[in-house]
Chain A
Amino acid sequence: MNAVVSVIGRDAVGIIAKVSAGCAACGANISDISQTVLHEYFTMIMIVDIRNLTISFDEFSDQMSELGKKEKLDIHVMHEDIFNSMHRI
């Protein structure tokens, strides 16, 4: 069972490290990362395995958006099913 963590914000040193550390602290195992920088804006999509979360999905989502606020990044966590529903028949 996966979740998608999307991160958007102004490019800066250490974004991946901070978001990864946030995931690790909650027991979310990163299985894929793709990222681009376009016009100074950083966009990253992480697929994380949430089967072994140490906290609830709700709390994980809240913690990641808190991290986003602290680091001036837009971080959202969404369950993968919404993407699977929309893009897979």
Chain B
Amino acid sequence: MLDARDILETLNMIREEKLDIRTITMGISLFDCQCDDPKKLCPRIYDRIMTKAKDLVFAGDEIQKKYGIPIINKRVSVTPIAMMLGGCSTDDALRVGKTLDRAAHELGINFIGGYSALVQKGFTNSSRTLISSIPQVLAETERVCSSVNVASTKAGINMDAVAEMGEIVKKTAALTADRQSIGCAKLVVFANVPEDNPFMAGAFHGIGEPECVINVGVSGPGVVASAIRRAGDCDLTTVAETIKRTAFKITRVGQLVAQEAAKMLDVPFGIVDLSLAPTPAVGDSVADILESIGLEKCGGHGTTAALAMLNDAVKKGGVMASSHVGGLSGAFIPVSEDAGMISSVECGALNLERLEAMTAVCSVGLDMIAIPGDTPAEVISGIIADEIAIGVVNTKTTAVRVIPAVGCKAGDRVSFGGLLGSAPVMEINRFSPVKMISRGGRIPAPIQSLKN
């Protein structure tokens, strides 16, 4: 028989502590759409997505009702579009981007991921086509998300791609200047990108994935912060245990929802992503968790250690709760999407350098950070290179999603609305890496890649 205390705990998690399923993401392979006529490519892609995902939103809504847990987003990720663009022009690429956007609108999903390329070792013609079209696609679509993997531990860092992505980020910001450069909020530069990540903007359907798959991303920073506060004046071992237990419970819900969605849609269950994903809502913040552990303010000394413990405990708790764990799985630290992070930046506790250090021990990277609009492309490339190097050397995923908000300077505020939130524009180090970035070439794979 169910225990009343357990029931009340679950109800409290959902109603007071904002536990939710952040996303059910359907991964769809587009390889069946390959054809040598660019004119036929778009209708094929559209039909494929609409056929596979036609019931996705309905299924999400049904599950939400059955279990009483909010399912915030229903999304689709597709095969990296660069792989579909053989023989295509930049205009063709733009048409594909618009096709994805149209499908997203028709399906009623808020994002579609996969306008992506993997160039860790070098460019193909089609990946060049895709990358050069990114600014225009992000400017002329609403729901398309783009990502580019520029490095891996096995391949090293493609510094030509790093240099180019600095330019692409700048162009994207310029083309969406009238909307606070929101295009950059939908563009992620990765190292060691996971191929089954359900979270945007970095989601795509990897080449080793099946035809179609359901991946689920859970959330629940508020639940973890509350549990730590309830644990009271205990030592850090107990704090870690508390996080583990809470992560277990959160992930079990993710597993349940993933299995149910897979069954309803008759699609294989892929993975549950264990990430703690904050939202701009008060009480749904990873910074709050760090502060509940005992920091005066997120960003102060001790932050990296607290985050390392949090990230590790989340994984340990979550991994037993799900049959397949994947994606990014850890704590997210996006600035604009986390009220606690915003507050820490505004009071001067949290700066870009601290954020970079934090990314060495958590699941993603420099995420949703607004920087001055006049930041030169090579400095953005420098920011990307630093972050990517952390991922490559530590055999982990890292990523950069920065927004050089046109017309804004440090201390201003940009607002993107919805889940993307709003962000204070952060000061950056202005000494130039231009000589290093313009050298190009590849930074060789680190010695730890030689494991065979």
Q: Which A residues contact B (CB, under 8 angstroms)?
A: 2, 4, 6, 32, 34, 43, 45, 47, 57-58, 61, 76-87
Contact = CB atoms under 8 A, between A and B. Distances in A.
A45 B253 contact: no
B252 interface: yes
A76 B14 CA distance: 12
A13 B203 CA distance: 53
A22 to B, nearest CB: 17
Given A58-B65, A77-B68, A78-B67, A86 B253 contact: yes
A32 B7 CA distance: 13
25 contacts: A2-B2, A4-B7, A6-B7, A6-B11, A32-B1, A43-B8, A45-B4, A45-B7, A45-B8, A47-B1, A57-B65, A58-B62, A76-B11, A82-B10, A82-B256, A83-B2, A84-B2, A85-B253, A85-B256, A86-B6, A86-B249, A86-B252, A87-B2, A87-B3, A87-B9
Contact of B65 (A45, A61, A81, A84): A61
A8 to B, nearest CB: 8
Interface in B6-21: 6-11
B149 interface: no
Most buried by A among B9, B67, B255: B67
Interface residue SS majority, chain B: helix
Nearest to A35: B4
B66 A87 contact: no
B155 interface: no
Nearest to B2: A83
Contacts of A83: 2, 6-7, 10
Contacts of A77: 68
A43 B11 CA distance: 12
A88 B75 CA distance: 30
Nearest to B249: A86
A80 B2 contact: yes
Nearest to A76: B68
B370 interface: no
Contacts of A81: 67, 256
Contacts of B8: 43, 45
Nearest to A47: B2
Contacts of B7: 4, 6, 45, 83
Contacts of A57: 65-66
Contacts of B249: 86-87
A41 B137 CA distance: 54
Q: Chain B, interface size: which category? A: 20 to 34
B69 interface: yes
A79 B9 CA distance: 15
A73 B256 CA distance: 28
A45 B274 CA distance: 30
Nearest 9 pairs of A and B residues by beta carbon: A78-B68, A87-B6, A82-B67, A85-B256, A85-B252, A34-B4, A86-B249, A79-B66, A86-B252
B340 to A, nearest CB: 25
Contacts of A34: 4
A44 to B, nearest CB: 10
Nearest to A81: B256
A57 B260 CA distance: 15
Nearest to B1: A32
A55 to B, nearest CB: 14
A45 to B, nearest CB: 5
A57 B9 CA distance: 23
Contacts of B252: 85-86
Interface in B54-108: 62, 65-69
A66 B82 CA distance: 50
B342 to A, nearest CB: 31
Nearest to A57: B66
Nearest to A61: B65
Contacts of A78: 66-69
Given A6-B11, A87-B10, A87-B249, A82 B69 contact: yes
A76 to B, nearest CB: 5
B2 A82 contact: no
Contacts of A84: 2
